Amino acid sequence: MMRRMARAATTSDVFNAIAEPQRREILILLRTGERPVTELAQELGMTQPGASKHLRVLREVGLVRVREAGKQRLYGLDARGLRPVHEWTGGFERFWNESFDRLDAYVQDLKQARQEGSN
Amino acid sequence: MMRRMARAATTSDVFNAIAEPQRREILILLRTGERPVTELAQELGMTQPGASKHLRVLREVGLVRVREAGKQRLYGLDARGLRPVHEWTGGFERFWNESFDRLDAYVQDLKQARQEGSN
DNA sequence: TTGACGCATGCCGATATCGGCATATGATGA
DNA sequence: TCATCATATGCCGATATCGGCATGCGTCAA
């Protein structure tokens, strides 16, 4: 039945897949070329099962591809799935590039009120 | 001690904040201007407490700002926090725009393998 | 065939998430 | 002051997440 879901399945949503810092690191690393799981785990300081699990998530949302190479499984980047995210955030570009009526007033307000650095 | 965290705190990470579909909808809606909570909840078909909670997360990562207006609290967009996400994904742009050596090989490989093997 | 390697998966525990509901808090106006 | 509106928060239950560990399974080499 699955009436309620605590969160959109990480496995079906690129936004969710890249919400995990380690998974983002994997993607970055894979920009330099494909890697077998163990090597990847080693370079990122994670356990092999840990790497495998993250890779699975990435695979399921289509951000990586696997290629069998004998004993190994070479994981490679497939960044096409990141494009929608890029475009989605791009839809807000003008809101951070231009200074807006209300927005601008806010910003000035805040800059004065807080020092903005705290976090 | 908090040795292990099941996930990066949603409250400290913009990536995580926008991993939630409803929160993304809120951000989109707020592009057209600020809104009091109830109106926002109504327009997006969510309960008032639900809206408040999502707004809290968005506030804590700095994606929205609140302005007190008498009884109401007007929430407005602050898209600056989306810029890092845009840039991060942008770092993968050439991987989906250009056709790459290895990448290309993969694709060809897969096309062949599927035609032959047909799992 | 056997053993070692590479990897995936299953189970567990701790914790976080999300929605619903009730309720607390705060401002407004009669 | 008191009722009311607007919002925030607390608690709950169901579920998902993530890391660690053990183990299963396939591949290769001797």
Two tokens, residue A11? 């496995």
Two tokens, residue B40? 């926002």
Chain B residues touching residue A65 (CB < 8 angstroms): 106, 110
Helical H segments across chain A, by residue range: 14-17, 21-30, 37-44, 48-60, 82-90, 93-97, 101-113
Two tokens, residue B114? 């599927």
Phi, psi of B73 (to 5 degrees): -125, 115
Two tokens, residue A44? 């990122």
Break chain A into its structural domains and give their ranges: 14-77, 83-113
pLDDT digits (tens, 9 = 90+) for B11-59: 579 999 999 999 999 999 999 999 999 999 999 999 999 999 999 999 9
**Class of the CATH domain delimited by A14-77:** mainly alpha
Q: What is the distance between the alpha carbons of residues A87 and B86, in angstroms, rounded to a whole number?
A: 8
The nearest CA of chain A is from the CA of B64 a distance in Å of 11
The nearest CA of chain A is from the CA of B27 a distance in Å of 9
pLDDT digits (tens, 9 = 90+) for A64-101: 999 999 999 999 999 999 999 999 999 999 999 865 55
Query: Distance of alpha carbon B3 from its chain centroid, rounded?
Result: 27
pLDDT digits (tens, 9 = 90+) for A4-52: 455 555 557 999 999 999 999 999 999 999 999 999 999 999 999 999 9
Sheet arrangement for strand A35-36:
A35-36, A72-77, A64-69
In the chain, the amino acid numbered B110 is: L
Q: Is B45 on the interface with A (CB under 8 A)?
A: no
Report the topology of domain B14-117: Arc Repressor Mutant, subunit A (1.10.10)
User: Is there a contact between A47 and A37 (Cβ–Cβ < 8 Å)?
Assistant: no
Angle formed by the axes of helices A82-90 and B82-90, nearest 10°? 140
